[in-house]
A and B are shown apart, each in its own frame.
Chain A
Amino acid sequence: MQLAKVIGTVVADRKDPSLEGIRLLVIQPHDHEGRPDGPPVIATDPLQAGPGDTVEWVTGREAAMGLPRTFAPVDVCVVAIVDHAWGDTRRYA
């Protein structure tokens, strides 16, 4: 599970039936200080997040379990819209 910033949306008309009604977002993974972690990825979004939001996301088999239909061909899913996240590596690590 990781933090990410929503930087865009994806629209796909022709898709697997289990993805009907599921929004797709472009998210940029980052750490608690905003440092990017790898390239942007496309995530399913059952929570109505929008560009500019900070979100928590999961990857792997668990991603599909965040959706209403838990057997779906999905490997990234948004599970929370973050109000506030903080961390202080220099002080605590």
Chain B
Amino acid sequence: MILCRVVGNAIATVKHPDFERFAVMVCQPVDPAGRPIGLSFLSVDSVQAGVGDLVLCAREGNTARQILVGGRESPHHSVILAVVDEVRFGDSVLAGPGT
């Protein structure tokens, strides 16, 4: 699982049918202090995450399929599976939206 900040989203009209009812968010991996690490990627949202939220992402197909479509065959590879309220790391506390 990867700690990420949702920094945007992607809108598509033409898409695989299994993506019809899901939002796709742009996720930026961050370290426990909230600093960006590396490049962003896309994740399908399963928890009504919004732009600015701190989230947990799983970049693994079986996890995504189980959460999104009950485990049947689908081309999902990445899913947002939690909105993080708080990360405590040493003395620092990283909070969710608005920080």
A→B interface (CB under 8 Å) = 1-3, 31-33, 35, 37, 46-49, 56, 58-63, 65-66, 70, 77, 79-89, 91-93
Contacts and interface: CB of A to CB of B under 8 A. Distances in A.
A25 B81 CA distance: 31
A88 B75 contact: no
Which secondary structure dominates chain B's binding surface?
Answer: strand
Interface residues of B, number: 37
A82 B35 CA distance: 27
B43 A79 contact: no
Contact of B7 (A62, A65, A89): A89
B28 A1 contact: no
A79 B51 contact: no
Contact of B39 (A31, A61, A65): A31
Given A58-B78, A79-B16, 11 more contacts: A31-B40, A32-B7, A35-B39, A62-B76, A65-B73, A66-B16, A84-B10, A85-B8, A89-B7, A92-B28, A93-B35
Interface string B52-94: 1000000001001100000001111110000000000000000
B74 A81 contact: no
Contacts of A82: 10-12
